[in-house]
Amino acid sequence: MRVVVLGAGFGGLELSAGLSERLGAGVEVVLIDRSEGFVFGFSKLDVLFGKQTRATVFHPYRDLAKPGVRFVRAEIEAIDPVAKVVETDAGTFEGDVLVVALGADVDPSATPGLLEGGHEFYTPEGAFALRDVLAAFPGGRVVVGVTSTPFKCPPAPSETALLLHDYLSDRGLREGSSIALVMPLPAPIPPSPDASAALLQAFAERGITWHPDRLVSRLDPEEKVAVFADGDEMAFDLFLGVPRHRAPKVVEESGLTSDGWVPVDPHTLETRFPDVYALGDVASVGTPKAGVFSEGQAAAVAGLLAARHAGDGGGPGYQGRGVCYLEFGLEQVAKVDVTFRSGSAPTGFLEGPSEAIAAEKSAFGTSRIRRWFDKDWPDR
């Protein structure tokens, strides 16, 4: 069986590792990505706030050495889901099975004024560049704002506001600064009332103002104001924005999307095209766009494909569960265990925050690098 995996992010790496582990050289996996290496989403915040360097959070794909897996660094230019053929700038690839794990692209230019008047922190480049901007920031009015839905890792803006509080406090700039968090959600983490209550309490204790159900539709770079969708305005000296998300263009052009994302069977992750699967941020599965859900979906697809290879149709499929870590600042991390099942409201259970869970989060990252790249992540 030849499986062509498009995208070596959280989902593509887990799928490749899972297939290799279950089938070894019995499967031929071609894993294609344009990037030179992988960076965890949460590492972007670590670099932004000066806790890690770019070099220590970067995991080069050249280190991949899984039995049965070949990594190809290439730009994917066209996907034919009927023929299961993929065109890239490094040649054409055909599979018995295609798995689309190309994530969500962000488009800062879709929000007028964001690039001119503010900063996005959702791409590695944006987050890494902000490190220097923050280091030179003399204090003032900071707005952390979301410009559209859906967006990756819904807790990330809350984490950013809390980590910013620590950052400015450590530099003696907090008293002369304000931090406002603007989100298009009624609660910081709607599926978990416990986690939302803990975050709202943390915001109140730190003097972070919370502005629910508000979307930033544009920035006025001259006046330095964020303009909300309802016309209200908020002044800022520093704006940290979550840009608009969209499926990668090559996926849109393939005919796989509907309403912007790739619809899939929520248990098998198969698209409407036989033997073409989609998982992670690019798919609409009914779960948030977060690495832990991409990973769970990839593990389910690996199980289903391995069962199929063995001639047995079974396997439980995807169950919709994820455990998300939540940075509270002050070296404290909490975790929310949440399961999304179609037909019933999800409920997330909160544990922490604590230093013990902070250590657990660190071990989570280390274990994935060991599993996917067969190497240690020593510089943490």
Ligand X SMILES: Cc1cc2nc3c(=O)[nH]c(=O)nc-3n(C[C@H](O)[C@H](O)[C@H](O)COP(=O)(O)OP(=O)(O)OC[C@H]3O[C@@H](n4cnc5c(N)ncnc54)[C@H](O)[C@@H]3O)c2cc1C
Q: Which residue is nearest to ligand X (CB)?
A: 9
As given in the structure block, the two tokens for residue 172 are: 């003696």
DSSP state, 270? B
What gap in Å lies between CA 192 and CA 256, rounded to an integer?
32
- Give the nearest distance from C-beta 379 to ligand X in angstroms: 19
What is the DSSP secondary-structure string of 163-226? HHHHHHHHTT-STT-EEEEE-SSSSSSTT-HHHHHHHHHHHHHHTEEEETT--EEEEETTTTEE
* Whether the Cβ atoms of residue 259 and residue 247 lie closer than 8 Å to each other: no
Among 23, 30, 69, 153, binds ligand X (CB under 6 A): 153
The answer to the question of residue 101 lying near ligand X (CB under 6 A) is yes
- Residue 76 as a binder of ligand X (CB under 6 A): the answer is yes
Tell me which residue of 305, 349, 339, 302 sits closest to 319, measured CA to CA: 339
Please tell me the total number of residues recorded for the chain in this structure.
380
Q: How far is the CB of 7 from ligand X (least distance, A)?
A: 3
| Residues in 315-344 that interact with ligand X by CB under 6 A | 324-325
Q: In angstroms, rounded to a whole number, what is the distance separating the alpha carbons of residues 186 and 174?
A: 27
Cβ proximity to ligand X: between 76 and 226 the closer is: 76
Contact 251, 263 (CB under 8 A): no
225 binds ligand X (CB under 6 A): no
- Main-chain phi, psi angles of 166, to 5 degrees: -60, -45
- Please identify which residue in 5, 11, 174, 256 interacts with ligand X, judged by CB under 6 A: 11
* Candidate residues 71, 93, 122, 328; the one interacting with ligand X per rule CB under 6 A: 122
Q: Which of 79, 142, 144, 156 binds ligand X (CB under 6 A)?
A: 156
Among 2, 22, 34, 321, binds ligand X (CB under 6 A): 34
Among 12, 191, 303, 352, binds ligand X (CB under 6 A): 12
Q: What does the per-residue mask of binding to ligand X show for 252-271, with x meaning CB under 6 A?
A: --------------------
Q: Does 7 bind ligand X (CB under 6 A)?
A: yes
Residue 109 tokens, joined: 């230019």
Q: Is 303 in the site for ligand X (CB under 6 A)?
A: no
Q: Which residues are at the interface with ligand X (CB under 6 A)?
A: 7-12, 33-35, 41-42, 44-45, 75-76, 101-103, 122, 152-153, 156, 248, 250, 280-281, 289-292, 294, 324-325
